[in-house]
Amino acid sequence: MGIVLKFFGGIIMTFLLVFAVPYFTENYITPYIIEAVGDNTLLFISSQTLIQMLIFLVMILFMILLGGGAVMRWCGIFGVLGMVVAYYLMGDVTRAIIPLISITVVYIITIPYRQKKEVKKKVKEARKEAKERAKKS
């Protein structure tokens, strides 16, 4: 993906998260959940609480798919810049602060994991090279 495409990908993903997801959730998912749950009580949880928990779960899933972390994972730094521009175009850049902080925290937390993964990859490549040398001998 080119830089421009990544940048516009960040903008589009942010607009989808802010506008399309709430519309889709409110008009399609929420009525289905309300109909499915009905007027039941599950382990002392009222139906309204259960409905709200399920809607919250759906919103979390959409945030995982389209939120700041997904923009970073799929579009990189230029996608994150596109996300900031999208919030600017919506008129409130401060709404980009939480996604930026979460991206930074996740990046810092996953540093040891990425380092371990890189070491394992190097070890695997070294073993593969050693096997190839052994076959040639």
Q: How high is the pLDDT of residue 110?
A: 85
Residue 92 lies in domain: 3-96
Q: How high is the pLDDT of residue 43?
A: 59
pTM of the model: 0.68
Kindly state the average pLDDT of the residues 3-32: 88
Kindly state the average pLDDT of the residues 102-108: 83
**pLDDT, greater one: 64 or 85:** 85
| Residue 105 within any structural domain of the chain | no
Name which of 88, 51, 70 is nearest 13 in CA terms.
70
Distance CA 31, CA 54 (A): 12
Query: Please, what is the average pLDDT of the chain?
Result: 85
Write down the H helix ranges in the chain: 3-15, 21-24, 30-37, 47-66, 68-89, 97-109, 111-136
| Residue 137 within any structural domain of the chain | no
| Residue 115 within any structural domain of the chain | no
| Residue 51 within any structural domain of the chain | yes
Q: Number of structural domains, the chain?
A: 1
Distance CA 65, CA 75 (A): 13
